[in-house]
Every structure is written in structure tokens, then in C-alpha cells.
Amino acid sequence: MGISETRWPGENEYYSNQFRIIQSGGEESQRGVAIILDQRTANAVEKIHYEGDRLLTMRLKGKPVDLCIIQVYMPTSGHTDEEVEEMYEKIDELIDSETRSKDYTIVMGDFSAVVGEGKEGKYVGHYGLGCCNQRGEKLMEFCRRREMCTTNTWFCQDKRRYTWTMPGS
């Protein structure tokens, strides 16, 4: 992971008439995170924090409370468990340093995890897919510890239940 940096709006950003794209990533096509905002939401951006090419934190000024979004691209199965553990530690650090107790905090992105089918307390809903894998267990533990939930498992979706399939599967 790269060095942690805080940058104000302008660097690593792209604008169009309708959208603002905030991204952090390297030259490799396998890395990088981004958040796309409409113009109204883009005007609410208060702070952006880049943490290497796999984590991006953005604070939005809101009413009645502010919103803190942490965008994640977790290391894939080709990476070690230690690299995944380091990412969860970085996410914990970002939550502790970049969010305030009154904020709504959203941690979103690609966790390269499968939480499986079936409800798991208040952390995983009824509509997951497949069988839980080791990375899914790690994600559920993170959710339990931080009192968060995997929201995409709480809604029945007939289409687009997953975003990626392994080549040849």
C-alpha cells in the first residue's frame, strides 16, 4: 500500500457537466477506487483522504449529520491473508480517524468475499449467494465488530446478484 495522503478537491478528479469523479489508483489496471458524484452531491464534499490505491475516504456535509464514505478495493484471492488483514486494519484506522460519532458511515466496495446464503444476525441478510468463504467470514467479523451490515444481502434482487465471475466458471 502507498503512503497515506490527504488532498483537497482538484487532484485525481475529473469533471463533466453532470458528474465529478474522484479516484485514487496506480498505473495497474487491477488497482484503484473511485466515487462518482452528481453535481449537487459534489458540492457537499468537505474532505477527501487517499490511502494508497485501494482506499478512498470522502466526507460529505449533510443535514442533520455528515456522511463519511470509505470506498474499498480489497486484495483479491491472489494476495496473502496478511495483506487482507492489513487492509482491515487500515479501514479500522480510517473509521477511527476520519469519522465522528455523529456521522453516518458507509464502508463500500469490492471486498472479494462471499458471505453466503442465509441470515447471520443483523449483519447479513437472507439474500446472499453461494457458500461463505474465508474472506466472507472476515467481512462478517468486521461487520460484527463495527456494528455494520452487508446491505446488499438484505434485498431480494432477481438480476445482477453478483458483479464478477471467475474466468471459465
Let me know if residue 41 belongs to a domain: yes
Model confidence at 1, pLDDT cuts 50, 70, 90, reads very low
| Domain region containing 67 | 4-112
Q: What pLDDT, in 10s, does the model give residues 75-103?
A: 988 899 999 999 999 999 999 999 988 99
Let me know if residue 160 belongs to a domain: no
Let me know if residue 135 belongs to a domain: no
Average pLDDT, the chain: 85
The alpha carbon of 36 is separated from its chain's Cα centroid by a whole number of angstroms, namely: 13
Angle, alpha carbons 105-54-12 (nearest 5°): 90
Let me know if residue 145 belongs to a domain: no
Q: What was the pLDDT predicted at 3?
A: 37
Residue 32 has pLDDT above 50, yes or no: yes
Let me know if residue 85 belongs to a domain: yes
Let me know if residue 47 belongs to a domain: yes
Let me know if residue 59 belongs to a domain: yes
Report pTM: 0.83
Let me know if residue 157 belongs to a domain: no
Count of the separate structural domains present in the chain: 1
Who's near 155: CB < 8 A, 6+ residues apart?
Answer: 125, 127
Q: What was the pLDDT predicted at 96?
A: 95
- With beta carbons less than 8 A apart as the criterion, state whether 69 and 106 touch: yes
Q: Give the CATH number of the domain where residue 87 resides.
A: 3.60.10.10
